[in-house]
Amino acid sequence: MHHDGRALAGVSEPRESRAGADDNGSRPPLPEAAASDRPLAFAGVAFAAVYVPDAGNGDLRLVETAGRATSRYPPPECLPLSGDSPAAHAFRTDRPLWPDLAELAPRSTDRDSEDRNSEGRYAEDGPRPSQAHAPQAQAQAQAQALAQAQGRQVQAPPTEAPLAALPLGTEGRRLGCLLVVGASPVGFEAEQRRFLEQYADAIAGMLRTEADRPAPMSLLTPALRSLGVGSFALMPDTGLIEADEALLELVGITPDDFDGKVDTLLAHALPEDMHALISVLEPSTEAFGRRELEFRVRRPTGGMRWLSLTCRVVASTDDRPEQVLGVVTATSVLRQSADDVSRIQWLTAALDDATTVRDVGRVVVTALREPLGADRVALAELRDDRLMVTVLDPPQPAAWPETWRAEWRSEWPDAPVSALPTLQLALRDGRMNLWSAGTSLEPGLAGIGAGGLAVLPLPAKGRVAGVCLVGWDEPHDFVPEERSLFTATAALVGQALNRAHAHDAEQELATMLQRSLLPRRLPELPGGTAVARYLPARRGLQVGGDWYDVIALSEDRVALVIGDVQGHSAGAATIMGQMRTAVRAYAVEGHPPDVVVSRANRLLVGMETDLFATCCYAELDLEEGNTLFVRAGHLSPLIRHPDGRTEEVQVEGGLPLGILAEAEFPMTAVALTPGTVLALVTDGLVEAADLPLDEGMRRTRDALAAADPADPGRMADELLGGVDRREDDVALLLLRYDGMKSRPIRAGWAVWRLPDAVMHARRFTARTLRKWGVEDVADAVLLVVSELVTNALVHTQGPVRVDLMLRGDRLRVCVTDSSPRAPAKPVSVDWESTGGRGLLLVEAMSESFGSMPVADGKQVWSEIVVPRREPTPTEPEPGTGQKPGTEQEPGTQQEPGTEQGAAP
């Protein structure tokens, strides 16, 4: 398990006495621990031992130790697995045993009493003591602890050294047990326990890889090295330092390049941290306690790494600093310490990485609540005389005043400043207020800080950006150091909150802009399923010029378009929205694909912008599967055949849009079979700085072939895969073509402009209805045809055409003319009117009725429901396209215009 540098926080003070020390009350010099034992000593461990099961006799066998054990009570070589020793119990239960010091007491001489007290002596993940015990001689404590490890009867002193047992296992295998003796009777802190658990995991990993080796293994030191913990011993008088390989690796120095001088290590530190490092590594005569510091080093590759240092000073006989012993570990997130400078360093670095308002709130909670022992932390922005609460810790509503809960209206609760006079005064003056225990505050703040409340206005650019509340339940004394910390924290958080609010507003604007420019949903298609995905670039405004669209042209025709405007900025997004709208408008008008793209190109050229766009347009006949492609500087579409084969469609390409107004865009026809998947992509998916275009297209084809077309949505997600690079926007449009379940039959008639033209149109319609076997609706259909053809002949010029289509139980009548003006229904028709009732009659007779623009005019249509009836043996169902008594296959249709110009 990786060690993140926090496990050494709160280590115990180094032991001040040892076996054989003089009893005259003077402090004997501390012996220097071996280099491999330094990290364990700073983790509060005086002695560690590893036991593994012995297959021969069923005992736990000692394989390696670290630290110093007493000669009177050496660690036992074997421990019975069935015994009551902590090591055996931890191995059997596969759970760590930590000392419960609150219940430690001298062992009874009665064996039964010893068994009863064993469970009180060690608690599985038990609580740490609430107060420290008086220190005692280290050798005596170690002797007592090792006697505990053996399960022997010992007359114990009033206080014992803590003993912990951690099981060693991995992947369900029990490999052994780690036994550790504490260096101080105060026990192991929470951070020390986490470090020892990580240490046990590292030892277990080495046991698993070394299990088959017959020779004795080295476990403890390599396991420490795998955690990335380095150690050193510095002689301040000479400037020489003994550093292990782990420390040199953290700093970025090879052992061959290290000359043993502390200046060589300091040369890798950043200049801003040099002063703090020198003050720690060159201590004064008074600085004999434990010191902690976070600092930065510059790696040989140019990158920066944060390191955490913990050290103590060993004094000589004349009370002068003789040695500085310490450990260093890497930390990805700086650990807070009691040192104010280090805490501000951590807060500055953490807020620098916080991009959103909620990120800032989480950093504030981490920086203030646990280090200060606070019970509540709240952060709120000030917006228009209201406090917008962004973070509450704890988040449960019951932990906060009733007034706040009553004002919570949404995901971002708010409260009026006028209802909180204390906060209103602090926000107006911009000064910190500290309220001690027992202060009477308004109901809106009651219960937040019964033991003490800190109100911190957050200044930012000459104004107050918000407020932070820190509350305690138990009485809390505000020491001067805390006041300085609050002042510095408020200034940093205010600036960070201002930046985060601007970032959130920018991202909200970008998201709203992108969503408004792209389709909110794709239409449901009768002969296929379309899905789309869009991912913005990870840099800049996260809004770009990629777009896609699915345009339902009619019941059996659909247009697919994907494009990419140069760049990924607000300007590119604006052009993208204009191009998408233009392409959709030209397509809905009924123009063929080459005309749609050509007109969009002329529009972009006329905008006189410096940006150009690429585009791939496809028009698909859902009934027949015929597809027309037009490509304007874009990537070729990909096709996955029903058998899993993939290919890149060779579409003849044209210039990108916006370059040349007279550019030509040829069409390429491709026939699709049901089960085919059509994929349109942008270059953000298949091309990057480290991914050539050809390789990216090959990978996309392989992913398309491997994906399951039964779920197009999951197929699209698999094509995106882990797109982490995202140097550019990514757009993807997939269509699985299934074919039409019911294929319509059609017939068309070109109306001649003759005095009896309406009569000819009625005869054509009646004859067609007889062929299709739907004479039941003849009266309604003939009335609709008469009215629509009459309107077209009277109010328009040019050709008029009647088209009939039967699909299932719907018969559609379409009359096309050359006028773009839609027919207008009369506002009112009285009994004396001689006209204006035609469209009202059509609407009354139709199930649905309307008009739509087409390339050369408009088309007025009406749908009429055909009653279902049981077919006779010689009569097909309506809509199958087969004449009674003929051998025509179902689904065939009469080609439009086959009766054009024929005599009725």
* Residue ranges with strand state E in 183-298: 229-235, 240-243, 291-298
The reported pLDDT for the residue numbered 804 is: 93
pLDDT at site 602: 92
pLDDT in the model for residue 530: 93
Distance CA 249, CA 267 (A): 15
pLDDT at 294: 73
Distance (Å, rounded) from C-alpha 344 to C-alpha 876? 85
Q: Both tokens of residue 437?
A: 């225990």
Low-confidence spans in the chain with pLDDT less than 50: 1-33, 101-143, 150, 152-159, 214-216, 332-338, 408-412, 879-904
pLDDT score recorded for residue 11: 32
DSSP 11-51: PPPPP---TT--SSS--PPPPPPPGGGHHHHHTTEEEEEEE
Distance CA 877, CA 884 (A): 10
Beta bridge partners of 851: 860
Q: How far apart are CA 52 and CA 902, in angstroms?
A: 101
Q: Which amino acid appears at position 70 of this protein?
A: T
Q: Which of 521, 547, 523, 551 is nearest to 534 (CA)?
A: 547
* Distance from C-alpha of 809 to C-alpha of 867, rounded to nearest angstrom: 7
Q: What is the pTM (predicted TM-score) of this model?
A: 0.46
What pLDDT does residue 340 have?
Answer: 61
The token duo for 725 is 């690079």
Q: Which pLDDT score, from 0 to 100, does residue 568 have?
A: 66
Residue 196 has phi, psi (to 5 degrees) of -65, -35
Calpha distance 669→677 (Å, rounded): 16
Look at residue 29 in the predicted model and tell me its pLDDT. 35
Assigned token pair, 390:
């962004």
Q: At 587, which amino acid appears?
A: A
Neighbours of 741 (CB within 10 A): 8
Report the pLDDT value the prediction gives residue 284, as an integer from 0 to 100.
61
Closest CA to 91 of 164, 30, 177: 177
Task: Give the pLDDT of residue 593.
Answer: 93
